Amino acid sequence: MNIDKDILYFDLPKMKKKEAIKLAGEKLLEHGLIDPEYIDSMLEKEKTDQTYIGNKVAIPHGTLEGKKYVKKSGIVILHFRDSIDYSGNDVNVIIGIAGLDGDHLEILSEIAIKLSSEEKVNNLINAGSPEEFIDIFKN
């Protein structure tokens, strides 16, 4: 998974879970990855499924039906130095996902592997700059 500064929104102010999911969707939209309806699909997914994956990381994405609003696969990353309340869990990294066909599961799997280390996630949260965040994420 290739990440660069274009998809990283670093050191964002604290906000509510719903606002953060909407922001992730808006950024996916800005990057031309989705149609606007996908954002509603992301919010709908939260009503039935938990997108918190542990280690202060959440991966909001759309419902199965919402996949029709995905134009191309990609991610955006939201970084919060101060944790946000994500259904009772502290979250500092939100990765908004748009996945076409089988890409969706591949992206989820790669994120789960990359962010399985609590130490690595803490290093990401405490990164001093977007460049440092990207270096830690890639390694």
In the chain, the domains with their CATH numbers are 5-138 (3.40.930.10)
pLDDT exceeds 90 at position 14: yes
Beta carbons within 10 angstroms of residue 69's beta carbon: 21
Angle between helices 130-138 and 118-125 (to 10 degrees): 160
Q: Which residues are catalytic?
A: 61
* pLDDT (mean) for 22-46: 97
Q: For the whole model, what pTM was predicted?
A: 0.95
pLDDT tens digits, 45-55:
999 999 999 99
pLDDT score of 101: 80
- Please report the pLDDT score of residue 29 as a whole number: 98
The reported pLDDT for the residue numbered 1 is 65
- Residue 137 near residue 3 (C-beta atoms within 8 A): yes
The chain-wide mean pLDDT, for the chain, equals: 94
